[in-house]
Chains A and B, each alone.
Chain A
Amino acid sequence: MARKRKSLLLFLVLLLVLVMIVSACDQNATKGKVVKIGFLGPITGGDAAEGAAARNAFQLAIDQANASGKYPYTIKVISVDDQSTENVAVSGAQQIVSDPLVVAASGFWNSGPAAASIPVFKEAEIPLLIWGAIRESLTSPDNMPWITRSAPTDKQENIPLASMVLDEMGYKDWFVVSDVGSYGSGNFEAFSGELAARGITPIGSEQVPEGATDLSAVVQKIKSSGAKAVYCGSTVGIGSQLKRQLFDAGVTDVLFCGISGMKTEDFLKIGNTAAEGALVVSPGVILDEAEAGRKFIADYQAEGFSEPIGAYTPYAYEAALILLNALSACGNNPTAETMVNAILNSKTTGIMGTTTFNEIGQTTNVAAYLNVIEDGAWIPYQNSAYASGARSFGGK
């Protein structure tokens, strides 16, 4: 009996030693050999073109940082595909925060998945830097200090577009279309607000279900309304269908404009003639006008990614630069706790200018420019035949 008890005791002691060794190894790992950063975005699904390109750019920045030798640890990215879906995003966020080596995360192109996942990051006290979701309420006093955003809000994005099409071009007869989703509704309200601020009541407005493919009834309404300009506050799926179906219905003598979610190469799949003249606002700056931007384009292309640079790809790269800057400020042992303040107080000069954050974690670096489809390619509006007057949008 005594011998049995002695064996059991020995077994327990050995087990305890084993646990302590494993624990020590784990602590050693967290002390600087590997630091992990989460990335979330729609890598598959209807918004894959934008999400996968953003993932590429984010990973590119981290790879460049690791190769630079500036960090006394290896930075690894946990990349999660949120499929533009709330429940998938939440489980992805849980996967990220459950990893003890994660010190920060950057995520989301869609506002719905972002809003659904924010509580997960807040509860785990892991800082989240939003690179692409633009619903205004995502950054707020309630979400401080964990949630910051380097992209402009929907309201901030719609302002330069409204300024151009309402103030400079002078369009008055509007038909406003969006989907009923979070992104669409946010833009619908933002642009309607810009119209209201100028005393303009739209001739008509429609919100279609997310993922709608047949917009022919909306097109007939637009056609019979006599609208001279159409605003679409949705992403590329609905935006490109609406533009194509307007073209098919012969509604070509109108301005078609919208928001950055449409500025992907997928929009061009409706055909050059149908896509011609779509005017879309993009956040940020024209990349090839500055040395840093040109270098980013060259580096991205050198990697041979199959997804071309989209409207938010530079923002994902910039988000990675902001997190890297914050990591540098945290010394050799960054933790989620130290990263929270390091991100909030960071001042990062990257490819989009200098980013700092205001009192609710929203970037102070707000820039946007207009793009237009001309002869089957997106080009900056200022360089287009539409700006020079050689071509006209119609509706005038």
Chain B
Amino acid sequence: MEMFAGLLVSALLLGCTYTLIAVGFSLFFGVMDVVVFCCGDIAIFGAFSIMGAYVVLMSAGLFNTLPFIVCVALLLLIGALFCATLGLVAYRFSIKPFSHSSELMPLLSTIALGTVIKEVLGLMFMPAVNASASAFGGEAALKVVSGRNPQGFPELLFPNGGVNLRYVTIICVTVLLLLLLFIFLNKTKMGLSMQAVSQNKELSMMTGINVSRTIVVTFIIGGVMLAIGGFLVGSYQKIMSFDNGAMYGAKGFSAAVVGGLRNTWGAVIGGMLLAFVEVFVAGYVANGAAYAGVVAFVVVVIFIIFKPEGIIGEKTVEKV
């Protein structure tokens, strides 16, 4: 029973990390009909932005002068700004130029952008952070060795509160974010515009919705969601690598497909399903850890074959 409870918590936590990245996929796909394959890399970029900003803020001595919670909020804001900007860059340079081309073009260009983000992290993280830290009189102890080395994510969620409080916070923050997203999508004018654009772009345009602005806002909101996703991934895993984005991107995309690509709640269900399959196969099957990822992707393949619209996605019928 103790093992079951432990696996349940692990699955929930892993599901939270997959869910937030899957939601990013769903938002972008909803308004643009494009799979933005660099979502995982944007999330990891967010985590690295927060790590870098942490080193700089520590060097500047802000953690000694400002309350801890204010510093954490500031770090989250910095991460969100970086990811929102990156989301806009993805839209402006990787998606918009191909809006009248084949669907494959933005797919390939976002894969390429993901590689660029990954390599920029590997190459530039160390010089950028160390130079910024030195500018604020950074100490040698905070020196970042190499962007390509594993990085220790700072303890920002109740550092003295123990691991259980950290886990509860990760789950609560995820739920809170999803609730806020739900309220935004259903109760605000912009959210309703996003849903309208998602359902029918041409008709939205005819009813006076500013589609371009809606798309830009979607990419900003998606970027912020991914930044918080990266923050939670870092807080959960504690060790981050610049190339983690591809794995989280693949899992997030799979989760979105299983749940229903166009549906935000589908992303939640898909993320949780994948995480539960992975964790429970690894936990209850002998030597299952080696095969957990395989089984999870078999589940994805089964969904693609038998229920391609996803668990709560709507079946689209094209009339001739």
The verdict on A339 contacting chain B, using a C-beta distance below 8 Å, is: no
The stretch of A22-30, A41-49, A140-148, A367-375 that contacts the partner chain: A41-49
Q: Is the CB of B146 within 8 A of A52?
A: yes
Q: Is the CB of A220 within 8 A of B293?
A: no
Q: Quick one: closest B residue to A44, CB to CB?
A: B148
Which chain A residues lie closer than 8 Å to B146 at the CB level?
Answer: 44, 48-49, 52, 306-307
The verdict on A384 contacting chain B, using a C-beta distance below 8 Å, is: no
- A260–B192 Cα distance when bound, in Å, is 57
The verdict on A13 contacting chain B, using a C-beta distance below 8 Å, is: no
- A138–B68 Cα distance when bound, in Å, is 52
The stretch of A72-80, A150-158, A204-212, A348-356 that contacts the partner chain: A204-212
The smallest C-beta distance from A116 to any residue of chain B, in angstroms, reads 20
Which chain A residues lie closer than 8 Å to B264 at the CB level?
Answer: none
Q: Is the CB of A240 within 8 A of B122?
A: no
Q: Is the CB of B238 within 8 A of A266?
A: no
The verdict on B60 contacting chain A, using a C-beta distance below 8 Å, is: no
Q: Which of A212, A220, A236 has the most CB of B within 10 A?
A: A220
Q: Is the CB of A266 within 8 A of B237?
A: no
Q: Is the CB of A223 within 8 A of B239?
A: no
Q: Is the CB of B239 within 8 A of A241?
A: yes
Q: Which of A223, A271, A307 meets B6, CB within 8 Å?
A: A223
The verdict on B7 contacting chain A, using a C-beta distance below 8 Å, is: yes
Q: Is the CB of A269 within 8 A of B151?
A: yes
Q: Is the CB of A217 within 8 A of B288?
A: yes
* A208/B247 contact (C-beta < 8 A), A216-B10, A216-B279 known: no
The verdict on A333 contacting chain B, using a C-beta distance below 8 Å, is: no
Q: Which of A48, A208, A250 meets B148, CB within 8 Å?
A: A48
Q: Is the CB of A244 within 8 A of B145?
A: no
**Chain B interfacial residues counted at CB < 8 A:** 37
Tell me the chain A residues, 229-269 only, with Cβ under 8 Å from chain B: 236-237, 240-241, 244, 248-250, 265-266, 269
The verdict on B2 contacting chain A, using a C-beta distance below 8 Å, is: yes
Q: Which of B6, B145, B282, B283 meets A249, CB within 8 Å?
A: B6
Q: Quick one: closest A residue to B279, CB to CB?
A: A217
The smallest C-beta distance from A201 to any residue of chain B, in angstroms, reads 14
- A49–B241 Cα distance when bound, in Å, is 13
Q: Is the CB of A45 within 8 A of B148?
A: yes
Q: Which of B148, B244, B247, B292 has the most CB of A within 10 A?
A: B148
Tell me the chain A residues, 45-72 only, with Cβ under 8 Å from chain B: 45-46, 48-49, 52
Q: Is the CB of B282 within 8 A of A218?
A: yes
The smallest C-beta distance from A30 to any residue of chain B, in angstroms, reads 35
- A241–B233 Cα distance when bound, in Å, is 13
Which chain A residues lie closer than 8 Å to B278 at the CB level?
Answer: 214, 217
- A248–B292 Cα distance when bound, in Å, is 22
Q: Quick one: closest B residue to A248, CB to CB?
A: B163
Q: Is the CB of A206 within 8 A of B290?
A: yes
Q: Is the CB of A217 within 8 A of B10?
A: yes
Q: Quick one: closest A residue to B237, CB to CB?
A: A213
The verdict on B149 contacting chain A, using a C-beta distance below 8 Å, is: yes
Q: Quick one: closest B residue to A264, CB to CB?
A: B149
Q: Is the CB of B3 within 8 A of A46?
A: no
Which chain A residues lie closer than 8 Å to B150 at the CB level?
Answer: 46, 236-237, 240, 266, 269
Q: Which of A49, A52, A208 meets B289, CB within 8 Å?
A: A208
The verdict on B155 contacting chain A, using a C-beta distance below 8 Å, is: yes
Q: Which of B7, B238, B289 meets A206, CB within 8 Å?
A: B289
The smallest C-beta distance from B252 to any residue of chain A, in angstroms, reads 14
Q: Is the CB of A307 within 8 A of B152?
A: no
Q: Quick one: closest B residue to A42, CB to CB?
A: B148
The verdict on B95 contacting chain A, using a C-beta distance below 8 Å, is: no
Which chain B residues lie closer than 8 Å to A249 at the CB level?
Answer: 6, 163
Q: Is the CB of B148 within 8 A of A241?
A: no
The verdict on A221 contacting chain B, using a C-beta distance below 8 Å, is: yes
Q: Is the CB of A209 within 8 A of B288?
A: no
- A224–B163 Cα distance when bound, in Å, is 19
Q: Which of B148, B163, B241, B283 meets A217, CB within 8 Å?
A: B283
The verdict on A270 contacting chain B, using a C-beta distance below 8 Å, is: yes
Q: Which of A48, A206, A213 meets B244, CB within 8 Å?
A: A213
The verdict on A292 contacting chain B, using a C-beta distance below 8 Å, is: no
The verdict on B56 contacting chain A, using a C-beta distance below 8 Å, is: no
Q: Quick one: closest B residue to A50, CB to CB?
A: B149
* A237/B241 contact (C-beta < 8 A), A216-B279, A221-B3, A271-B155 known: yes
Q: List 6 A-B contacts (CB under 8 A).
A: A46-B150, A48-B149, A209-B293, A214-B10, A217-B288, A237-B241
Where the two chains meet, the residues of A that have a C-beta atom closer than 8 Å to any C-beta of B are 44-46, 48-49, 52, 180, 205-209, 211-221, 223-224, 236-237, 240-241, 244, 248-250, 265-266, 269-271, 306-307
Q: A216-B14, A218-B289, A269-B151 are in contact. List 6 more A-B contacts (CB 8 A).
A: A44-B146, A213-B239, A217-B289, A219-B10, A237-B241, A270-B152
Where the two chains meet, the residues of B that have a C-beta atom closer than 8 Å to any C-beta of A are 2-3, 6-7, 10, 13-14, 122, 143, 145-146, 148-152, 155, 163, 237-239, 241, 243-244, 247, 278-283, 287-290, 292-293
Question: 6 closest A-B pairs (Cβ-Cβ)?
Answer: A269-B152, A217-B282, A216-B10, A217-B283, A224-B3, A220-B6
